[in-house]
Amino acid sequence: MLLELTIQNFAIIKELSLTFSEGLNVLTGETGAGKSIIIGALGLLLGDRAAGDMIRSGEEKAVLDAVFMVENENLRLQLKKEGFLEEEDDLLILSREVSKSGRNLCKMNQRPVTLSYLREVGQVLFDIHGQHQHQSLLNEKNHLLILDAYCKDAIKPIYETYQALYAQKKEMEKELKSLLGDREDREARLSFIAFQIGEITEAALKPGEEEALTDEVKIMANAEKIKSLLYESHEYLYEGTEKTSSILDLLNKTIKVTEHLTEFDHSFENTAKELQDAYYLLEDASYTISDYMGRLDFDPMKLEQCQNRLDKIWNLKKKYGNSIEEILSYRDRLLEEQEKIINNQDLVNDLHKKLDTLERRLKEEADQLTGLRRSFAEKLTDRVLKELKELYMDKTDFLIEFQKKALTETGQDEVRFLVSANVGEELRPLSMVSSGGEISRIMLAMKTAIAEVDQIPTIVFDEVDSGIGGEIIKSVAKKLYEIGKSRQVLCITHSPQIAAYGKTHFYIEKTDQAGRTFTKIHQLKEEKEKIAEIARMLNGKTDDEITLRMAKKLIETVNN
């Protein structure tokens, strides 16, 4: 519900503050006094395009603030979740600042927001009838929501069953997509996996192979140096040099000396044995070196083969892992993935069968939804036509059109409201009704019909009394009053009949002060003030006794 509206430096309004009540709030005044400016200010809070000429002459910026009590539970939860409302607070301030420099600042509870977000929230808080772009009923996306709300509890069990099945369908489709992916992507992946497996398998890698090859390459690359060192070692051990005997010859002599010592001291027997063992060990080493020398041979072709094999291993390491073990482990994982993709076909087929069964059930529930909606659409149509007739628009036709679409979370129905304002004219979307007053009365009839289920708490009517009078205006006034029993209504009017029904009445006037025009607003709290204003609306006079009595009688009739 709209509690307060503050306007600063907007059009001819210097500063204005209004406090609204629940029920029917009427705003009256002379033509050009600024009533429509208030609608314009509210329109800006609904996201209208701002222009520099909206700013009062001589001022740099216009500021608009509206205080709302948030009554829509879904909106309240959303705003609390996003940090715009405290846990125990239901008051929300929408603000918009327009400057001549082109700066456009939007806020919600003092926090900057985008214009689109301000518009999104504003359209849940209030609805303006008179300017097409703000009327929620003209937005065909809302028509199914309105019809479903009109169905009330009758639709709930079917709708809940349908949505549960639809959620299962989406989950199953998600799983199927995960298993299959895009068909081309899946085939490409299988092809790529096969290539990688083939490349690794063809290499016939063995754990430890790289280290062995590295050692072998190192030996072959240094064969001449190794041979030289081996020859030198063998010479020292076995052959000796021109200048010295071999180590084995010297050791053999040492053994004989030690054995001679044992003839004098038996304690040298162990030493003699150790020296003999050392001789055998060194002799074996000499044979090993000699044998290695005999086998060592530099083969350029074999070196190239080993180097090529190492290059192949290094290339595979760049692609698949840091070692042969990692490469082989990666190949095993590829084999598992390949098997899973190929074997998933059974699971895919099973899912397809389940999905087909689920879609048949979903279609059955969707058909039930359609049937229920059509039955309530007939009731709503009859109700709207009844309301139109009471507004003396009995020649206006109204129809709720159904079109079948693919299954979505709301069912298979696309719904829109069509109207024909004159006999012989084809039914057309509500947004194509050209007359402002005509569309306002159609909106009034529909708002009355759906008053109990409409979720928008504040409705603003402008031009609703345009071009009508007599019994029609009385009926319009009653409709506004009836809507005001369950919703807050703001109505700018030139009609005394509508004004008489107002629970809260504001009088707007234009004054000149020091060569400047100002708009002022005054809430008519005293009965005599209200009588005087309605008398002015009746024939332009506030001091004519007959007119005053007529005004008083009109108010008494309404009160009764």
pLDDT tens digit sequence for 379-408: 999 999 998 988 888 888 999 999 999 999
d(CA 96, CA 66): 9
pLDDT, position 213: 84
pLDDT of 270 strictly over 70: yes
| Overall average pLDDT of the 302-306 stretch | 80
Q: Considering the chain, what is the average pLDDT of its residues? A: 86
18 occurs within a structural domain? yes
Q: What is the reported pTM?
A: 0.63
Does the pLDDT of residue 352 top 80, yes or no?
yes
pLDDT at 510: 84
Mean pLDDT of 243-250: 81
Average pLDDT, stretch 329-358? 87
Q: Does 49 have pLDDT greater than 90?
A: no
Do 61 and 44 touch, CB atoms closer than 8 A?
no
Domain extent at residue 96: 1-130+463-523
Q: Mean pLDDT check: name the lowest of 20-24, 316-320, 357-361, 460-464.
A: 460-464
* Rounded CA separation 96/253 (Å): 114
Q: How many structural domains comprise the chain?
A: 1
Two structure tokens written together for 496: 């005394």
pLDDT for 132 equals: 46
In a domain, 510, yes or no: yes
Q: Report the range out of 67-76, 157-166, 541-550 with the highest average pLDDT.
A: 157-166
Specify the 3-state DSSP secondary structure of 24: strand
Average pLDDT over residues 292-312: 78
Q: Which has more pLDDT, 495 or 178?
A: 495
95 confidence band (pLDDT: 50, 70, 90): very high
Higher pLDDT, 171 or 295: 171
Handedness of CA 56, 61, 64, 65 (dihedral sign): negative
126 near 2, Cβ under 8 Å? Answer: yes
Question: Is residue 395 one of the residues assigned to a domain?
Answer: no
Q: Residue 237: what residue type?
A: L
CATH of the domain at 47: 3.40.50.300
With respect to residue 245, please indicate whether it lies within any of the assigned structural domains: no
The two structure tokens encoding residue 403:
């079109």
What does the pLDDT average to over 154-178?
Answer: 91
Pick from 533, 536, 531: nearest CA to 521: 533
Question: Which residues on adjacent β-strands are paired with residue 128?
Answer: 460
How far, in whole angstroms, is CA 71 from its chain's centroid? 24
Residue 290 in any domain: the answer is no
Report yes or no on 434 lying in a domain. Answer: no
Under 8 Å between Cβ of 298 and 224 = yes
Domain membership flag for residue 310? no
The mean pLDDT of 24-45, rounded to a whole number, is 84
pLDDT winner (highest mean) among 421-435, 438-452, 529-543: 529-543
Mean pLDDT over 495-504 rounds to: 92
Confidence of residue 182 (pLDDT cuts 50, 70, 90): low
**Overall average pLDDT of the 189-210 stretch:** 90
The fraction of the chain above a pLDDT of 70, given in percent, is: 97
Residue 519 lies in a domain: yes
- What value does the mean pLDDT take over residues 124-134? 70
Query: What are the CB-based long-range contacts (under 8 Å, 24+) for 526-533?
Result: 527/555, 530/499, 530/505, 530/555, 531/555, 533/28, 533/499, 533/505, 533/507
Q: What is the rounded average pLDDT of the residues 436-463? A: 80
pLDDT band at 67 (very low <50, low <70, confident <90, very high): very high
